[in-house]
Amino acid sequence: MLVKGAGISFDLSEDHLMIQDMVRKFAEKEVSPGAGERDRSMEFPRDICSKLGELGLMGVNTPTEYGGAGMDSISYAIIIEELSRACASTGVVAAVQNTLAQLPLYRFGTEELKRKYLPDLAAGKKIGAYCLTEPSSGSDAGSLQTMAQKNGDFYFLNGQKLFVTNGMAADFFIVYATIDKSKGNKGISAFVVERTFPGFKIVRKEEMLGVRASGTAQIAFENCRVPVSNLIGEEGDGFKIALTTLDSGRISIASQAVGIAQGAYDAALKYSKERSQFGKTISNFQFVQEMLVDMITYIEAARLLVYRSSYLKDKGVPFSKEASMAKYFASTMSEKATSHALQIHGGYGYTKDYPVERFYRDARVTEIYEGTTEVQKMVIARNILGG
Amino acid sequence: MVLTKQQNYWQNLAKQFAESEVKPKVNEMEKQGEFPLFFMKKLGELGILGIGFPEKYGGQNADSFSFILAVKEISKVWASLGLSIGAHLLGTNPIYFAGTEEQKKHYLIPLVRGEMLGAFGLTEPSSGSDAASSRTSAVSVNGSYLLNGRKVFTTSASYASTFVVSALTSREKGKKGISAFILERNYPGLMIAKKEEKLGLRASDTSGLILDGCQVPKENLLGLEGDGFRVFLQTLDAGRLGIAGWALGIAEAAFEQMLDWAKKNEVDSGLMDEHEWEAGMIAEAATKLEAALLLAQEACRVKDTGQFYIKEASMAKYFASTLAVEVCDAALKIIGCSALTNDLPVERYFRDAKLGEIGEGTSEIQKLVIAREVLKTSGRLVPA
């Protein structure tokens, strides 16, 4: 529906184009070459994080006074797309660093917390992560079990967190815990926890289908001692902080999904013009054309949804529904597009000689993390139906 | 589905073997990429590799669907092993279809019994779907053929004792210039090339063959010069049925994971109010699994009557392989993040399933075959 305020614009600004060009060149030169090897070895792209920090790409939306670049959300979407197009792991690592780790701080943190943590994160000198999901609380974040008990100048955290992207490499963690289970959502509070705090423990590294270089970890808190000053906002603000952060996080993942699909499409288009069967390049076959056409049409539609939600976010109007639409559409599209790309490559696509099997594995998680496709549909349904 | 006594027997035997002997080893062997040579021998001893072959060639003289059911049960536990069976049959069937009695005695019987491992070399770097464009050549010299060329994606190549390969005995004749040969592993000039690293099926071996003046005795020509294309098409028809069974095995395995999860999370107690979405996916998968099995059964029935079953085989393969990808995807959706880690086998199923849409003719090729056959028979879409 085209309505007032929907933010229709088909031109990127000069600034946006410059950023796109800069990140694309960086990704082609620095990110793409090692992507296959990192996927195999599950090695976290720590060096790339430092370089991204130097380029100002690790605190894209973070205000400049705290060391960030203070750019708009469309720039951010472009950056995550371009990184993911080369390496989906790097894309999600940067997304978690930029949004999940820093937004709770610059939106809800005290001046002291902002000064203490944001500059190093925005510079890529330190890595940040986000601990919300637990063994028995995924989509239903309100039911989390990790406890925070206040005692003097400290909170003591006890509990387990799962699927913590960047977890293996991170220095700082945004952690959600409840101060009182009986209060439900209103008991949830957010903390900054440093890796060196006593009682912080990495349980294990997850071996996964895709985004294998994202340092995804299981984490445990065993009487983990957190200074009272590391509470973000007030006690009980956690649920609001989590939801606000995830709205923006959805734009990240939608951008990542678009980038993965674009990378797969680029590879498939190139291959279809090189590979000959039955006396002509396979790009001449209608089946192949249909797949390419579907891919690029859906990629462009998804990208526009991403830009629209980013635009609304920058305008400061509600964008939760639009972010969910972007994520739902882009992640579903990405799964389909990467499958087409693999199919166009035939037997070669099934091997690790070409990058498409990696894109195919990487795309899958975009339908799951930061709210599954089904949760996005619930958000959209709630928005259009009310209540 | 009603099965005959014979079909029940083979299905149960395969299931029992897969559950009790194969299953405990799968995770480790798949992770290490360890080829299941030992299990292939075992399958030979149990008669499973010989289900569809006559007794006089060491087989069990059972029907085609018995074999497909056995492949399904084994693939359900381990797709890499199921695929190795498929590849073995590709290397065995051409000899059964076109071999002389001498060749059958020498090669077919040990292959059927699993004493030898077979492989099939058709695909070349520049000739995949377009199998007729192969470039490997065979020149007759002093009572031998000298073969030169390269094969890629030869399943089980690193472990096979015999290979059936295609080569051109005449460049001018096009498809009619393609001939089939039986090669033994130790023939001079036969080398195994690079082993492929793949998305899934890591314990299944996929390697290339290099034929550098490979010397093949004249008596190892299969059929006559120029018979190759026909023999390979016939072999691929049977192979497609095998892939249908293989894909169904993966689909059933993913379906069971989905059901386990649903039961554990008490989806069954809330179907009408809060779990309609899961219910929908479960119902859709269950229905399509039945349909896929029926297509495979029908293709086997037509095959066993001795008629052409190319359309039926392509339909069975196309439907089952698409379904396997779909069901794996549905299982990932229902189970969520936990299914992406290797704590559950679902991520393995998801990686493995994709091959079904590619190997032994992509889905696009199957559709072309089906369309051609349907157009040829002027619209009688449903078998009477």
Tell me the average pLDDT across A210-218: 97
Instruction: Give the CB-side neighbour count of residue A300, counting CA atoms within 13 A.
Output: 6
- Measured in degrees and rounded to the nearest 5, phi and psi for residue A6 equal -75, -15
Q: Is the pLDDT assigned to residue A240 strictly greater than 60?
A: yes
Chain B, residues 347-366, CB within 8 A of chain A, namely 347, 350-351, 354-355, 357-359, 362-364
- Kindly report the nearest CA distance between residue B282 and chain A, in angstroms: 15
Q: Is A14 a catalytic residue?
A: no
What are the structure tokens assigned to B378, written together? 């002027």
Provide φ and ψ at A124, rounded to 5°.
75, 15
Rounded to the nearest 5 percent, the helix, strand and coil shares of chain B are: 60, 15, 25
pLDDT interval class at A1 (50, 70, 90):
very low
Cβ contacts of A343 on chain B, cutoff 8 Å = 357-358, 362-364
A89 contacts in B (CB within 8 Å)? Answer: none
Mean pLDDT of B190-203: 95
Average pLDDT over residues A227-252: 96
Q: Report the residue from B129, B199, B347 with minimal CB separation from A346.
A: B129
| CA atoms of B54 and A125, how far apart (whole Å) | 71
Q: Band of the pLDDT at A137, cuts 50, 70, 90?
A: confident
Kindly list the residues from chain A whose CB atom is less than 8 angstroms away from the CB atom of residue B342. 207-208
Chain A contact set for B363 (CB, 8 A): 343
Residue B311 — very low, low, confident or very high, per pLDDT cuts 50/70/90? very high
pLDDT mean over A272-277: 96
Nearest CA in chain A to B336: A368
pLDDT greater than 70 at residue B378: no
Task: Give contacts of B335 with chain A, Cβ < 8 Å.
Answer: none
Which of B226, B251, B268 finishes a domain?
Answer: B226
Contacts of A347 in chain B (CB under 8 A): 123, 128, 152-153, 358-359
- Please give the tally of structural domains in chain B: 3
Q: Are residues B89 and B164 in the same domain?
A: no
A262: tokens are 């674009």
Q: Which residues of A touch B (CB under 8 A)?
A: 133, 138-139, 162-163, 206-210, 276-279, 285, 287-288, 335, 339, 342-343, 346-347, 349-353, 357, 360-361, 364-365, 367-369, 372-374
Q: Is B155 in the same domain as B55?
A: no
Interface contact B199-A360, CB threshold 8 A:
yes
What are B322-352's pLDDT values in tens digits? 999 999 999 998 888 788 888 889 999 999 9
pLDDT of B384: 43
Say if residue B197 is in the same domain as residue B239. no
Q: How far is CA A118 from the centre of its chain?
A: 18
Distance from CA of B324 to the nearest CA of A (A): 14
Chain B residue numbers touching A92 (CB-CB < 8 A): none
Of the partner residues A207, A285, A369, the one whose CB lies closest to the CB of residue B342? A207
Asked if residue B248 and residue B209 are part of one domain, the reply reads no
CB A365 within 8 A of CB B336: no
| pLDDT above 80 for A333 | yes
Q: Is the pLDDT of residue B128 over 50?
A: yes
Cβ neighbours for B180, distance < 8 A, ≥ 6 positions apart? B94, B98, B164, B165, B166, B221, B222, B223, B227, B228, B231, B232
pLDDT at A222: 98
User: Per the domain annotation, does B356 fall within a domain?
Assistant: yes
CB contact under 8 A, B128 and A346: yes
- A29-43 residue pLDDT tens: 999 999 999 999 999
Q: pLDDT tier at B269 (50, 70, 90 boundaries)?
A: confident
Residues B54 and B297: their CA atoms lie apart, in Å, by 20
Q: Give the sign of the dihedral formed by CA A312, CA A318, CA A319, CA A322.
A: negative
Instruction: Give which of B220, B229, B242, B70 is closest to B155, Cα–Cα.
Output: B242
* pLDDT above 70 as % of chain B: 97
Under DSSP, is residue B122 helix (H, G, I), strand (E, B) or coil?
Answer: coil
Does position A136 have pLDDT exceeding 90, yes or no? Answer: no
Half-sphere exposure of B278 toward its Cβ, with a 13 Å CA cutoff? 23
Q: Are residues B242 and B368 in the same domain?
A: yes
Confidence of residue B2 (pLDDT cuts 50, 70, 90): confident
How confident is residue B270, by pLDDT bands cut at 50, 70 and 90? confident
Per-residue CA distances from B143 to B64, B169, B171, B216, B218 (Å): 38, 14, 20, 9, 6
Dihedral sign (CA B66, B69, B74, B79): positive
Is A139 within 8 Å of A372 (Cβ atoms)? yes
Report the residue of chain A nearest B328, measured CA to CA.
A364
Residue that is written with structure tokens 């051609």 in the block: B372
User: For the residues B206-218, what does the mean pLDDT come to?
Assistant: 97
How far apart (Å, rounded) are the C-alpha atoms in residues B261 and A117? 41
Domain identity same for B188 and B97:
no
Beta-carbon separation of B333 and A349 below 8 A: no
CATH of the domain at B286: 1.20.140.10
- Mean pLDDT confidence for B114-120: 98
B interface test, pick of A209, A211, A369, A374 with most B CB neighbours within 10 Å: A209
CA distances from B64 to B1, B191, B242, B296, B304 (A): 16, 34, 10, 10, 7
B54 and B107, same domain (yes or no): yes
Phi and psi, residue A220, nearest 5°: -125, 145
Among candidate residues B211, B226, B241, the one where a domain is terminated? B226
Whether B252 and B263 share a structural domain: yes
Provide mean pLDDT across the span B280-295.
95
What is the distance in angstroms between the Cα of A346 and the nearest Cα belonging to chain B?
6
Residue A8, C-beta contacts closer than 8 angstroms, at least 6 positions apart: A2, A308
pLDDT beyond 50 at A177 = yes
**Closest-CA residue of chain B to A338:** B354
Which residue, B165, B197, B226, sits at the end of a domain?
Answer: B226
At A109 the pLDDT is: 98
For residue A333, the distance in angstroms to the closest alpha carbon of chain B comes to 14
User: How far is residue A30's CA from residue A25's CA, in Å, rounded to a whole number?
Assistant: 8
Residues B141 and B26 in one domain: no
Residue B246 and residue B366 share a domain? yes
Residues B37 and B104 in one domain: yes
Which of A103, A100, A93 has the alpha carbon at shortest distance from A124? A93
H/E stretch holding B164 reads strand B162-168
Taking an 8 Å cut-off on Cβ atoms, the answer to whether A351 and B342 are in contact is no
Q: Which amino acid is located at A227 in the chain? A: P
Q: Which residues of A touch B133 (CB under 8 A)?
A: 277-279
The percent of chain A in helix, strand and coil, each rounded to the nearest 5, is 55, 15, 25
Residue in chain A lying closest to B278 (CA): A374
Go through B325-337 and write b for each residue having 16 or more CB atoms within 10 A of its CB, e for each that does not. Answer: bbbbbbbbbbbbb
Provide the pLDDT for residue A4: 59
d(CA B318, CA B254): 18
> What's the whole-number mean pLDDT along residues B94-107?
98
Mutate to test the interface with B, among A364, A372, A376 (most CBs of B within 10 A): A364
8 Å CB contact of A364 and B340: yes
Say how many C-beta atoms besides its own lie within 10 A of residue B249's C-beta: 30
Look up the CATH number of the domain holding residue B154: 2.40.110.10
Q: What is the pLDDT of residue A10?
A: 66
Whether residues A343 and B341 touch (CB distance < 8 A) is answered with: no
Smallest Cα–Cα separation from B83: which of B125, B139, B40?
Answer: B40
CATH number reported for the structural domain that contains residue B60 in this entry:
1.10.540.10
- B199 to A278: CB separation less than 8 angstroms, yes or no: no
Let me know if residue B382 belongs to a domain: no
Q: What is the ipTM of this complex?
A: 0.84
Say if B135 falls within a structural domain.
yes
Residues from chain B contacting residue A161 (CB–CB below 8 Å): none
C-alpha to C-alpha distance for A61 and A71, rounded to whole angstroms: 5
Q: Which domains does chain A have, with CATH numbers?
A: 14-122 (1.10.540.10), 128-236 (2.40.110.10), 239-385 (1.20.140.10)
Scanning B10-49 for CB atoms below 8 A from A yields: none
Give the Å distances, CA to CA, from A188 to A136, A139, A268, B113.
16, 15, 46, 65
Q: Which domain holds residue B271?
A: 229-376
List the catalytic residues of B.
Answer: 360
Mean of per-residue pLDDT scores for chain A: 95
Instruction: List the single range of A168-182, B106-120, B202-216, B370-384 with lowest mean pLDDT.
Output: B370-384
Answer yes or no: do B178 and B276 share one domain.
no
- CA of B345: which chain A residue's CA is closest? A209
Chain B, nearest residue to A277 by Cα:
B130
A231, β-bridge pairs: A191
**Is residue B358 classed as helix, strand or coil in its secondary structure?**
coil
Cβ-based contacts under 8 A for chains A and B: 96
Is pLDDT above 50 for B135? yes
Assess if residue B383 is contained within a domain: no
pLDDT above 80 (res A170): yes
Structural domain contains residue B381: no
Rounded to whole angstroms, how far apart are CA atoms B232 and B257? Answer: 37
Residue A146 CA, chain-centre distance (Å), reads 23
Q: Closest Cα of chain A to B129: distance in Å?
A: 7
